[in-house]
Structure 1
Amino acid sequence: MTRFSLVTIALITALATSAIAGPQYVDRTGFAVSGYDVVAYFDLDQSPVGTEQPAAVPGRADITAEYNGATFAFASQANRSRFLENPAAFAPQYDGHCAYGVAQGGKVPANPNLWRIVDGKLYLNITQDVVGFWENDIPGNLSSSTANWVSLDSKPASRSRIPKFKSTAPN
């Protein structure tokens, strides 16, 4: 095997293993993203930076799929099918933890109604104040969170209640 091939394989392995620092975050609802439909985010009209996003779409307990150690719920069979074609394309970054928290070097829960899609990837944050900090420098925070994610402990985040968030978990 050539040196180039070994370096390429090492790089691919490093990138693949760095993408997940542990299982998907699951709160007390028992669902990833508190039971909200991760595919539906990509169909919502995203608001400009600095303004509130549309509310996330609740999933249904009878339309689910497993991915990264968690159960994801969907609002429709069509969304479930889209997810199953490529789960990594729809699952939130940092296994569903707060993007700004990861940029700061920690793993904290995320509020599914505080979201933003950047470069085709879903990011969640924990509070409206944190959204402001994260959106103040999205490129810088993404650079920090990407660098931090590979070294974070694989243990899940706290299961503490997310401030000012009431789940509408699937029934």
Structure 2
Amino acid sequence: MPTRRNILAGLGAFALAPAARAASPMIFTDQGAAILGFDTVSYFANGGPIAGNPENALMWKDAVWRFASDANREAFEANPRAYAPQFGGYCAYAVSQGFLTTTDPKIWHIVNGKLYLIHSHPMDREWMRDPEANIVRAEANWPSVLYG
């Protein structure tokens, strides 16, 4: 029968083991929906975000992607990497600075054919000071920033 001393000794070894760091999900979601439920294809096809329909959705990278139309869903299915926001939909400026934060789907930019989402207007002002340099920094930080 184990004694209190044996149990405590076993727990001590466990307590000294290095703690595993939890990783953030690869895709930022709110209750499972990417881009807060906005249609990612709409940024390219409609010139801005349109709310997606929960009945017109699909799963990709453990996130639900909603679309305003069958055509947009089909375009995404054919080439999701062409439409998905960079850095998993996390704030591109925050990733450039080495951390993660949520995004406002209505604050966005398309640079060289890629979608970048930003958290807030103040962060957007910082992003716009030098988008190309921010992209380079964010790419250097991605995906290791997920484990930070």
Other-structure match for 1:129: 122
Could you report, residue by residue, the CA deviation over 1:3-52 in whole angstroms, capped at 9, with x for unpaired residues?
xxxxxxxxxxxxxxxxxx84211114x3100000000100234xxxxxxx
Question: Hey, what's the Cα distance between the residues in 1 that align with 2:54 and 2:147?
Answer: 27
Asked if residue 145 in structure 1 is aligned to residue 138 in structure 2, the reply is: yes
- The structure in which a higher percent of residues are strand is 2
Tell me the distance in 1 between the aligned counterparts of 2:64 and 2:43. 17
Q: Percent identity?
A: 37
Which residue type is aligned with residue 24 of structure 1?
I
Q: Distance in 2 between matches of 1:80 and 1:119?
A: 22
Matched, 1:23 2:26: yes
**1:130: how far off?**
0.7
SS in 2 for 1:73: strand
Any idea what the Cα deviations from partners look like across 1:122-150, whole Å, max 9, x if unmatched? Answer: 00000011111001100110111011114
Unaligned runs of 5+ in 1: 1-20, 46-53, 156-171
Contact 2:38 2:51 (C-alpha < 8 Å) held by counterparts? yes
Q: Does the 8 Å CA contact 2:87/2:143 hold for their aligned counterparts? A: no
How many residues align? The count is 125
Deviation at 1:65?
1.1
Structure number, greater radius of gyration: 2
The match for 1:113 is 106
1:33 is aligned to 2:26: no
Aligned to 1:83: 76
> Hey, what's the Cα distance between the residues in 2 that align with 1:96 and 1:125?
9
Secondary structure of residue in 2 paired with 1:106: coil
Gaps of 5+ in 2: 1-23
Structure with the bigger RCO (C-alpha within 8 Å, sep 6+) is 1
Aligned to 1:92: 85
Write the distance in 2 (CA, Å) between the matches of 1:140 and 1:110.
20
Q: Which has the higher helix share?
A: 2
CA distance in 1, matches of 2:147, 2:79: 23
Name the TM-score, length of structure 2 as normaliser.
0.79
SS in 2 for 1:115: strand
Q: 1:68 aligns with which of 58, 61, 66?
A: 61
2:107 counterpart SS class: strand
